[in-house]
Structure 1
Amino acid sequence: MAVGKLYIGRRVREIREGAKLTQSSFAERLGISTSYLNQIENNQRPMSASVLLLLAERFSVDFSAISTNENDRLLALLVEVLADPVFAAHSPTFQEMKLVVQNAPIFAQALLSCHQAYRRNSEQLASLDDHIGSWATEPTAYEEVRDFFHFVDNYVHDLDTAAESLAETLDIPNNDANVALAKHLEAHHGVRIRRTEAGDDVLRRFDPSSRTLFLNPYLPVATRSFQMAFQVANLEQEERIGKIVESAAFRSADASDVCKAGLRNYFAGAAMLPYQVFLATTKGLRHDLELIATRFGASLEQVAHRLSTLQRPGQKGIPVFFARVDRAGNITKRHSAAKLQFARYGAACPLWNVHRAFESPSRIIRQLAETPDGVRFLCIATELMKSHGGFGTPRPRHAIAVGCEISYARDFVYADGLDLTKKTAYDAIGISCRICERADCPQRAVPPLKSRLRVNRDVREILPYEIF
């Protein structure tokens, strides 16, 4: 019984058009020539296994959905499974895989089942990180809200489009957001902007009786704009925000209140950085954070966070991860539209470049990194210091990190000059020591869960134990 070749030109064309890419751009993303892609799309050549793998990695293609018969589906699934880095040392040829499917389909099915069990076990191990320190307890209000934003992909369509509409009305960013928002608050809500009194340390204070919004006079311009946009959300978006929170069905009133504050923040960021204009600008400036921040009168953190929200259906940006980390290594903000995941409890991997950002204030640090599952990333990190006062005023310091999977790296100016093909250029990082399986990591803080240890009294290596 012969295994049919995959002539799926129409499906490939649909994937390309869905991504809004030209043939040349699509071919470049797959690492093939435009002429080869043209032949595939016109069914003049079959789809190769290597291109199938790239489609799955870079465009989230379901192998089984594009295959034409049972043998093809089995072969496609086998190709996908054997692409897992766990099989890196035993990589059969495409012809060998075809022979297995043709002559031993039950064996192929058994291998698929074993791999599924392996993945489930890995996911369960990772999920233990979610529960450490909170066994038999309900999630906190903060954790509930964090999960809410995670499950909606950090994108809230109704609020995003409402903010974009406001920005269009005020002609942001062509107009100074600070001036435009102040005029809008006064013209539509009778709200005047005033300075806080000397010694009043709040960033923002609204007095409903006098219709006055007090802002700390020492705030950076971007923060002033954000606080005014937040006040607009308070005055114009409460009904919409209330419906969103109601549909989320939080367990407690505290979680509802925390989420409402988060949604007001979301609206403020989306108004300062309106979706379509921001998306086009990021592409045009190749995700240069500093240039984008200057273009919109925003902070680097506002820009990095906004990049993680570009998940509008049909108009998605590059899938990125974003995190904010304090000097102790705690992740205080996080979202990942990429495959990189963050530790929910405890500190982040010490080998991640976000920690080095504290050593080089105001500089952007680049890193090529590889996680234990073999996925590679371009990581960018920089240190930020916030202050709204003079000498003696507390100055909190954080580092922010943003990045993408390596297949998108060329869309970032930060990839220029880096050798993305050199294996030794990538630093081995993990999620957290508790669930990282790397046995030879010199920075390991604690042994991984579900691993056995062996201590050799006659030999002392970097770690005082062996992991197996």
Structure 2
Amino acid sequence: MKKLFLGRQIRSLRENAQLTQRDFAERLGLSTSYVNQLENNQRPVSAPVLLSLGEHFGLDLASLSVDDNDRLIAALQEVFADPVFAGSRPGLQDFKMVSQNAPDFAHALVRLHQAYRQMGEQLARFDDRLVRDEGLARPTPYEEVRDFFHFENNYVHDLDLAAEELSVRLSRTGRLFARDLAQHLEERHGITVERRRGEAGAGVIRRYDPATRRLALNEALPESTIVFQLAHQVALMEAGDIADAVLARARFQSADGAQVARIGLANAFAGALVLPYRAFLTTAQETRHDLDLIADRFGASLEQVAHRLSTLQRPRLKGIPFFFARVDRAGNITKRHSATKLQFARFGAACPLWNVHRAFESHGTIIRQLAETPDGSRYISLAAHVIKKSGGHSGPVLHYAIALGTEIAHARDIVYCDDLDLAREAAFEPIGVSCRICERLTCPQRSVPPLNRAISIDSNDRRLIPYEIR
């Protein structure tokens, strides 16, 4: 069992109560030196102390998780894999200490490294031209928002609860239809919903006119998208206060970042409204996470279902931890989240051995892969090709592949594992996270050497990989 270090939380409880360490220790029946050690993560928190903290200071024991810092630790490990830190790479315990004791510092370091990477990419594109625009050193709004949701575990509790409560009130059958949401928008907000034929090639999905209070939806969209866009409009009208509180806490670096985040929060509300937490979790468990059956039950798309499965992180009611990603044909990860130990690379494309790339060749089917990462963790990965249309013959057509997976320890709860030979070692394909940080030295699909390893090249010896990693 992992030891639980809660120094930052304990210090916050004491400071909020405006107590000295001595007074705080007396309340808990502990020595001052013991409290000092707890606050500095020099000792783990015992069960009796946890109970006492809950009783005297309202510590929510159910919200504690020994894995809360895993994402931040993974981000720090990737930062220090950069050659700029060669010879000074901290150990795992150092990463844990920083993430537990100084998370704000750790996040700032990750952002600083991101700015360094972006500046390097800008300089590479512009050769030796000097670029002095300070905006280049900042993450783009979409990158900033992506990282925000990543470190929030892709779950905003107040938003999810509010959406679920509204869904229960609006749904007559346990499933929300477009007519339910359109009626709610008209009765509650005086908004008229219209379905219009989209302009050829325009790619318009939804357009709201605040002056006339008319919401126009592209009639060529599938019904699952129509429902989601109606739910998104409901979120914009009713979840503003919750979004404001989240944005104030997040403190985005730019107004654009805050605006992108507001849209992201509205999408999160919409997803929770269409796929309410408890009903969705129950259906997922009853079907053993059969994506098609879940989609049929709620009238949702495969992508909506897969994405929602990765967000089931409600305290005391968590679902199976899944990773979710959406990849375009070029291999760019356009959406990503992981509640598992597998954390996606912040830069570069995904591992070419991952089955998500093969999904483009198998439209209409869910392909499976048993995979093993360099740390020895094993996963079941599901991938599917997704096509998005927004018009007729001349309208844009988008192609994506989505991936959903979890650790093989959950195989008995995943219907897709039933006929797989999980005991056979060779059944698990070796995959990595990204070539630049992958430690597999003999991978024939490697595109670039690892950042922290040297290479040697022999002109007399040509193999699949034209260099040897030292």
Q: TM-score, normalised by structure 1?
A: 0.73
2:431 counterpart of 1:457: no
Query: 1:385 aligns to what SS in structure 2?
Result: strand
Counterparts of 1:133 and 1:428 in 2: how far apart (Å)?
A: 30
SS of alignment partner, residue 384 of structure 1: strand
How far apart, CA to CA, are the structure 1 residues paired with 2:198 and 2:306? Answer: 33
Name the % identity.
54
Tell me by how many angstroms 1:230 deviates. 0.6
Residue type of the partner of 1:117?
G
CA separation of 1:67 and 1:188: change in aligned 2, threshold 3 A:
closer
**Contact 1:167–1:173 (CA<8 Å) still a contact in 2?**
no
Which consecutive unaligned segments of at least 5 residues does structure 1 have?
1-5, 12-62, 69-114
Partners of 1:274 and 1:334 in 2: how far apart?
21
Q: 1:65 to 1:375 in 2, by over 3 A?
A: farther
Q: Distance in 1 between matches of 2:439 and 2:95?
A: 13
> For 2:172 and 2:299, how far apart are their aligned partners in 1?
10
Tell me the residue number matched to 1:402: 404
Structure-2 separation of matches of 1:64 and 1:419: 40
Q: CA separation of 1:178/1:67 partners in 2, compared to 1, >3 Å: closer, same or farther?
A: closer
The equivalent residue for 1:29 is none
Q: 2:232 aligns with which of 218, 230, 254?
A: 230
Contact 2:197 2:219 (C-alpha < 8 Å) held by counterparts: no
Q: Classify 1:277/1:118 alpha carbon distance in 2 versus 1 (closer, same or farther; 3 Å).
A: closer
How far, CA to CA, are the matches of 1:252 and 1:165 in structure 2? 32
Aligned equivalent of 1:155: 155
1:304 aligned counterpart, secondary structure: helix
| Structure 1 residues 135-146: aligned runs within 5 Å | 135=120, 137-146=137-146
In structure 2, the CA distance between the partners of 1:198 and 1:355, relative to structure 1 (3 Å rule), is closer
Counterpart of 2:207, as a letter, is: R
> How do residues 143-222 of structure 1 correspond to structure 2 at under 5 angstroms?
143-171=143-171, 174-196=174-196, 199=199, 201-222=203-224
Shift of 1:450: 1.5
Cα-to-partner distance string for 1:226-281 (whole Å, 9 max, x where unaligned): 01001111111112211111111111111110100000011001000000000011
The alpha-carbon deviation at position 191 of structure 1 amounts to: 1.3
Where does residue 279 of structure 1 map in the other structure? 281
Partner residue in 2 for 1:369: 371
Instruction: Tell me by how many angstroms 1:312 deviates.
Output: 0.4
**1:305 partner letter:** H
1:362–1:156 CA distance, 2 compared to 1 (3 A): same
- 2:68 alignment counterpart: none
Q: Distance in 1 between matches of 2:400 and 2:302?
A: 12
Indicate how the Cα distance of structure 1 residues 457 and 197 shifts in structure 2: closer, same or farther if over 3 A, else same. Answer: closer
Deviation, structure 1 residue 132: 3.6
- Which amino acid in structure 2 is aligned with residue 342 of structure 1? F
Give the whole-Å Cα distance in 1 for the aligned partners of 2:94 and 2:362.
40
Counterpart selection for 1:432 from 413, 434, 459: 434
1:459 is paired with a residue whose SS is coil
Aligned residue pairs: how many? 363
Q: What's the counterpart of residue 268 of structure 1?
A: 270
Aligned-partner Cα distance in 2 for 1:433–1:174? 45
Structure 1 residues 389 and 437, CA gap change in structure 2 (3 angstroms): same
For the residue of structure 2 that corresponds to 1:434, the secondary structure is: helix
Separation in structure 2 between the aligned mates of residue 325 and residue 422 of structure 1, nearest angstrom: 29
Is there any run of 5+ residues in structure 2 with no aligned partner, and where?
A: 4-42, 49-88, 100-105, 121-135
Task: Please state how far the C-alpha of 1:285 moved relative to its aligned partner.
Answer: 0.5
Alignment partner, residue 416 of structure 1: 418
**Do the aligned residues in 2 keep the contact of 1:319 with 1:338 (CA within 8 Å)?**
yes
SS at match of 1:309: coil
Alignment of 1:345-356 (within 5 A): 345-356=347-358
Aligned to 1:443: 445
Structure 2 CA distance for aligned equivalents of residues 316 and 446 of structure 1: 38
Deviation at 1:391, TM superposition (A): 1.3
Aligned in 2, Cα 1:118/1:157: closer, same or farther, shift over 3 Å?
closer
Distance 1:198 1:366, change over 3 A: closer
Q: Bigger shift: 174-183 or 262-271?
A: 174-183
Equivalent positions of 1:4-153 (< 5 A) are 117=91, 132-135=117-120, 137-153=137-153
Amino acid at match of 2:383: A
- What is the CA–CA distance in structure 2 between the aligned matches of 1:257 and 1:188, rounded to whole Å? 25
Q: Structure 1 pair 173/410, CA: closer, same or farther in 2 (3 Å)?
A: farther
Q: TM-score, normalised by structure 2?
A: 0.72
Cα distance in 2 for residues equivalent to 1:230 and 1:244? 17
Shift in CA distance, 198/393, structure 1 to aligned 2, threshold 3 Å: closer
Kindly provide the amino acid, as one letter, of the partner of residue 445 in structure 2.
Answer: Q
SS of residue paired to 1:158: helix
1:282 aligned counterpart, secondary structure: helix
Q: How does 1:355-394 map to 2 (within 5 A)?
A: 355-394=357-396
**Alpha-carbon distance in structure 2 between the residues aligned to 1:400 and 1:344:** 18
CA displacement at 1:345 relative to structure 2 = 1.7
Please say if residues 203 and 396 of structure 2, whose CA atoms lie closer than 8 Å, have aligned partners that are also in contact: no
Listed one character per residue, the Cα deviations across residues 83-110 of structure 1 (whole Å, up to 9, x for unaligned) are: xxxxxxxxxxxxxxxxxxxxxxxxxxxx
Amino acid at match of 2:325: A
When residues 349 and 119 of structure 1 are mapped into structure 2, their CA distance, relative to the original with a 3 A threshold, is: farther
Counterpart Cα distance in 2 of 1:323 and 1:272: 20
